[in-house]
């Protein structure tokens, strides 16, 4: 791939559409170049959504499969009308309630965008991001901007400019750097072209948030997202969507977020790591046995740990505790905080210092559902009470 000098604009203070960096970045977008920018969720890799040549570059640099469509970002509610049609009343209510914000709606498209953006579908994913830099850029270009997360396909999404540069330095025209993003996980994706309206990707706007706004029976989770129907995974191969014959969201069938070190996820659909609970005790014994075996093999182990779990793990693991590198990921009772740093933690796992990583699951509810959705995809192995899903 051709090497370019990637411009990094480090932004501070109040950002408006007239800021010189926004003007420069907008000018490059209008010349069909790629610009990475922060949103309130993760960094996006932007291109003009109605320009075939520009959108093509996104797929090329990301190594993204052509059948996985992109989210189109616009600055305000009126702009939604320029790319979508037959918009249901409930969509307007959701737009008013949650946007700008971390909610993406799948609506019927108007056919005005590059076919690559929608991967040939007649629907379009629309989002109004809640970040002054993203909104300033969108306002400045006055056009819809297609922007997937700014990571190479399969890698954890970027929550800092450094992550974007890790993946794309020298391959994109520029990055607007406004430091760390807020939520840390991508937006909730809600398909409003089916009924009941269906969450295809869980995020910070939760099922109960949506139900409280438009009615409990009008919105549901996609069946593959129910915790009691865990996705059948793993190995470093395919597919988290074996339960569905046709994946509603093409993105659902690809493996994502993989760290550079194999990650074993131990499902624990409980509020606490309470060893008096038989199912928890069972998991802990199996965990201990596996860690012991791996240490005996001379493997260097990292454990992504919740604060509340530390004392229990110390007791259960005994002297093994000292041989494992613990990385703190927040409190299991606060999934929002776990979400905010999750991708950074996954990206910080390096094969130079770690051979295997382990992590326990959190309760799959609220934002915990979004966290677990990403972890299930990131894991190379998922351990359940009954056995592994290898």
Residues lying near ligand TXA in the complex (CB under 6 A) are found at 39, 41-42, 44, 68-71, 104, 106, 118, 121, 123-125, 127, 129, 147-149, 186-187, 189, 200-201, 249-251
Q: How far is the CB of 322 from Mg ion (least distance, A)?
A: 38
Smaller CB separation from ligand TXA, 57 or 127: 127
Binding-site size for Mg ion (CB under 5 A) equals 1
The residue (of 176 and 291) whose beta carbon lies closer to ligand TXA is 176
Closer residue to Mg ion, CB minimum distance, 158 or 335: 158
CA angle (75, 154, 72) in 5-degree steps: 15
Give the gyration radius of the chain's Cα atoms. 21
Q: Which residue is nearest to ligand TXA (CB)?
A: 251
Least distance from Mg ion to the Cβ atom of residue 149, Å = 3
Q: What does DSSP assign to residue 45?
A: E
Question: Taking the complex as a whole, how short is the minimal distance between the CB of residue 81 and ligand TXA, in angstroms?
Answer: 17
- With tokens 């989002």, the residue in question is 127
Binding-site partner at residue 123 among ligand TXA, Mg ion, none, CB < 5 to 8 Å by type: ligand TXA
Closest CA to 40 of 118, 170, 147, 153: 147
Do residues 53 and 161 lie in contact, with contact meaning Cβ atoms separated by under 8 Å?
no
Smallest gap from Cβ 30 to Mg ion, in A, equals 24
The nearest distance, CB 151 to Mg ion, in angstroms, is 6
Residue 367 touches which member of Mg ion, ligand TXA, none, C-beta under 5-8 Å by kind: none
Instruction: Mark residues 147-176: x for contact with Mg ion by CB under 5 A, - for none.
Output: --x---------------------------
The reply to whether 187 sits near Mg ion by the rule CB under 5 A is no
Distance CA 156, CA 92 (A): 32
Q: What is the DSSP letter of 149?
A: B
Compute the distance between CA of residue 208 and CA of residue 186 in angstroms, rounded to an integer: 18
SS3 state at 303: strand
CB of 62 to Mg ion, least distance (A): 8
Q: Cβ–Cβ contacts within 10 Å for residue 216, how many? A: 12
Q: Is 224 in the site for Mg ion (CB under 5 A)?
A: no
Please say whether the beta carbons of 171 and 192 come within 8 A.
Answer: no
Q: Which residue is nearest to Mg ion (CB)?
A: 149
- Under a CB-based contact definition with an 8 Å cutoff, are residues 231 and 223 in contact? no
The contact set with Mg ion (CB under 5 A) reads 149
């Amino acid at each position: 791939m051709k090497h370019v000098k990637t411009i990094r604009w480090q932004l501070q203070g109040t950002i408006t559409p007239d800021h010189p960096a926004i003007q420069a970045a907008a000018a490059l977008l209008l010349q069909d170049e790629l610009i990475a920018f922060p949103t309130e969720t993760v960094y996006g890799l932007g291109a003009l959504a109605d320009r075939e040549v520009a959108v093509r570059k996104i797929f090329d640099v990301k190594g993204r499969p052509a059948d996985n469509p992109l989210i189109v970002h616009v600055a305000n509610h009126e702009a939604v009308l320029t790319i979508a049609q037959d918009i249901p009343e409930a969509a307007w209510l959701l737009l008013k309630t949650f946007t700008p914000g971390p909610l993406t709606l799948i609506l019927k498209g108007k056919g005005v965008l590059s076919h690559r953006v929608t991967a040939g579908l007649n629907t379009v994913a629309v989002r109004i991001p809640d970040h002054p830099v993203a909104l300033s850029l969108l306002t400045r270009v006055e056009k819809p901007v297609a922007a997937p997360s700014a990571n190479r396909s399969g890698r954890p999404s970027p929550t800092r400019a450094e992550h974007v540069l890790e993946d794309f330095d020298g391959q994109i025209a520029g990055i607007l750097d406004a430091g760390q993003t807020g939520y840390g996980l991508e937006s909730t994706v809600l398909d409003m072209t089916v009924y009941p309206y269906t969450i295809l990707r869980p995020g910070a706007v939760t099922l109960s948030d949506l139900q409280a706004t438009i009615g409990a029976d009008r919105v549901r989770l996609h069946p593959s997202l129910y915790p009691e129907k865990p996705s059948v995974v793993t190995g470093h191969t395919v597919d988290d969507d074996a339960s569905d014959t046709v994946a509603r969201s093409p993105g659902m069938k690809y493996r994502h977020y993989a760290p550079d070190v194999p990650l074993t996820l131990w499902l624990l659909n409980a509020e606490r790591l309470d060893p008096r609970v038989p199912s928890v005790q069972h998991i802990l014994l199996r965990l201990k046995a596996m860690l012991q075996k791996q240490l005996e093999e001379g493997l260097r182990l990292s454990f992504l740990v919740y604060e509340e779990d530390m004392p229990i793990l110390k007791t259960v693991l005994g002297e093994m505790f000292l041989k494992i590198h613990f990385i703190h990921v927040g409190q299991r009772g606060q999934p929002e905080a776990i979400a905010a740093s999750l991708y950074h933690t996954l990206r910080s796992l390096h094969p130079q210092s770690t051979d295997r990583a382990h992590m326990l699951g959190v309760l799959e509810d609220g934002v915990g559902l979004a966290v677990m959705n990403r972890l299930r995809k990131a894991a190379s192995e998922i351990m359940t009470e009954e056995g592994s899903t290898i």
